[in-house]
Amino acid sequence: MGLSVPQRCLLLLLRAVGFVIGLLGLAARALDANYRAPRAAPPPAQPLLLLSGLRLARDIRRGKVKSIDVIEAYIARIKDVNPMINAIVKYRFEAAREEAIAVDKQLAEGHEDEATLEKEWPFLGVPLTVKEAFEVVGMPNSSGLVNRRNLVSQTDATVVANLKRAGAIPLGVTNCSELCMWYESSNNVYGRSNNPYNVQCIVGGSSGGEGSALGAACSVIGVGSDIGGSIRMPAFFNGVFGHKPTSGVVPNKGQFPRPVGAQEKYQSTGPMCRYAEDLVPVLKVMAGPGVHKLKLDHEVQMKNLKFYWMEHDGGSFLTSPVDRELLQAQRKVVEHLENVVGASVQHVKLGKMKYSYQLWMAMMSAKHPDGTEALTFRKLLRDHGNPVWPLWELVKWCVRMSSLTIPSIGLCLFEKVSFDSETFTRLENLRKSFRAELIELLGNDGVFLYPPHPRLAPKHHFPLSRPFNFSYTAVFNALDLPVTQCPLGLSKEGLPLGIQVVASPFNDHLTLAVALHLEDVFGGWVSPGKT
């Protein structure tokens, strides 16, 4: 059930390339004075930057603060911090100012009472950032692809339109990995994003710029998408909350690349927020008419939930061992649930978890029930044109002539070494049986606690030497389960800790309730730059 011989050989080649690039990166950092010591973004000093989206909306409605003052506070923070982290790649400041002034004028006229304002515009006047892969009128929509760098969106993605109608004001769009298919957000259009807790570390991908902007207090609520952990890894690495909803509820329309074939079923658009209390209301707005399926208004009692936990994937040779501090953080959660909450907590060993990457690959290569095949990465890199030749691109990259990044070229190479039909059938059957096993275990009152990644936020380039570490998040896309990523404070070196909270389909309300509880107990987001 493992990788084929050609896939193993290619894996070794990719790791060797990653190791060499990592050494070059270390050498460059040694020569660069800016990298001689870790640097974190300074903590925010303006009090408005330390309020949740819900709190800001309430204060704006009640006239305690003006929307323009909130927007100006965030613009000033972005100007101060973004040059260091390169998270927001295109600003929308003038339009945001005009919209904030219009909000303040609307409120001054006093035509609506507070209850009406809260119902119709729950995020009236609140700043928002959006992953660049989503359409935002007047903003680029390249997804880091050089041949789309001049494309400007003429419409809004459905979720962006929903949030605008709810009163949210976009400040700009945030960086992502090339074509949203890698877990370091770096591309040849916008460059590389840096972690606000240590600029030598990655922000994750593909919604990495969004995670970085939120972690650095350059934004308070945001939009991400997730087909292999693209919400949850950036949320983890940058110390914020992120939710991958049950698929098929929140609209995916209006993003590039558009998921095709079976990928459409397993891609999820969801909220990324600095504060847990914003997750449910932002998700309600994003989801629109189908939101009732997620049972977000159901009350949840922690002591009545059944908790299951597992500390690693069972020892897959593809992934790194789980960092000791992550295991300690998970155990603190387990001990709290057992000793303080008094909930049922059970350690489990799920043997199929060691095939996480293979299950995800089977999902990505599957046909849609209507027979539509998944669009290959090689075609997407040409924006649906003729497929790239990865070996030729690799040669060009070595002499700095390729417009593609090395992760994209590597993914193209690996894509060409596909599963044969017999192996695919075995993996697909395994995926279905594993999903049924977990759903039966969790039922409608159980959640599963699992590490978000084997390591704390790695240094830049490290993912090339461990390309399959993302399987810790990707497995739950393959199983089509809702997951909330929750921060759990900082490590000894000042990097975010965290945990994934998983439930069975359409039980998103359980994971989101646990997120609120964990924020209350463990503190949630911690400002970077604090000593």
Q: What is the pLDDT of residues 111-161, one digit of tens each?
A: 999 999 999 999 999 999 999 999 999 999 999 999 999 999 999 999 999
Is the alpha carbon torsion for 108, 113, 119, 122 positive or negative? positive
What percentage of the chain exceeds 70 in pLDDT?
88
- Whether residue 21 is predicted with pLDDT greater than 60 in this model: the reply is no
C-alpha distance from residue 305 to each of 299, 336, 346, 499, 501 (Å) = 12, 14, 11, 17, 12
pTM: 0.93
pLDDT band (50, 70, 90) for residue 188: very high
Can the peptide bond before residue 127 be classed as cis, meaning omega within 30 degrees of 0? no
User: What are 448's strand-pairing partners?
Assistant: 308, 502
Q: How far apart are CA 200 and CA 198, in angstroms?
A: 5
**Between β-strands 186-187 and 169-174, what pairing exists: parallel, antiparallel or unpaired?**
unpaired
383, amino acid identity: D
Q: What is the pLDDT of residues 52-80, one digit of tens each?
A: 999 999 999 999 999 999 999 999 999 99
Comparing 141 with 12, which gets the higher pLDDT?
A: 141
Give the residue among 290, 88, 308 at the shortest CA–CA distance from 207: 88
- Whether residue 31 is predicted with pLDDT greater than 70 in this model: the reply is no
116-121: long-range contacts (C-beta < 8 A, 24 or more apart)? 117/61, 118/57, 118/58, 118/61, 121/165, 121/166, 121/167
372 Rama class: left (phi>0) / alpha (psi -120 to 50) / beta: beta
268 catalytic, yes or no?
Answer: no
pLDDT band (50, 70, 90) for residue 34: very low
Q: How far apart are CA 434 and CA 3, in angstroms?
A: 19
The DSSP string of 315-377 is: --TTSPPPPHHHHHHHHHHHHHIIIII--EEEE---GGGGGHHHHHHHHHHPPPTTSPPPPPH
Q: How far apart are CA 429 and CA 243, in angstroms?
A: 27
Query: What pLDDT was estimated at residue 409?
Result: 83
In the chain, the N- to C-terminal Cα span, in Å, equals 47
Q: Of 206, 207, 219, 268, which is the active-site residue?
A: 206
Q: Of 142, 186, 230, 491, which is the active-site residue?
A: 230
Residue labelled with tokens 């308070």 = 220
Q: What is the pLDDT of residues 343-387, one digit of tens each?
A: 999 999 999 999 999 999 888 877 655 555 566 666 777 665 667
Query: What pLDDT was estimated at residue 437?
Result: 98
- Whether residue 38 is predicted with pLDDT greater than 70 in this model: the reply is no
Q: What DSSP designation does 221 have?
A: E
Query: What pLDDT was estimated at residue 304?
Result: 98
Give the residue among 400, 145, 104 at the shortest CA–CA distance from 256: 145
Query: What pLDDT was estimated at residue 383?
Result: 63
Give the residue among 513, 493, 498, 484 at the shortest CA–CA distance from 452: 498
The answer to whether the CB of 171 falls within 8 A of the CB of 139 is no
The answer to whether the CB of 157 falls within 8 A of the CB of 136 is yes
Phi, psi of 129 (to 5 degrees): -120, 155
Mean pLDDT of 438-443: 98
Q: Of 66, 131, 284, 352, which is the active-site residue?
A: 131
Cα 467 to the center of its chain, rounded Å: 17
Mean pLDDT of 307-336: 97
- Helix or strand or coil: residue 275? coil
Mean pLDDT of 504-513: 98
Average pLDDT score over the chain: 91
Q: What's the CATH number for 43-522?
A: 3.90.1300.10
The answer to whether the CB of 440 falls within 8 A of the CB of 479 is no
pLDDT band (50, 70, 90) for residue 450: very high
- Helix or strand or coil: residue 134? strand
206 catalytic, yes or no?
Answer: yes
527 catalytic, yes or no?
Answer: no
What are the boundaries of each domain within the chain? 43-522
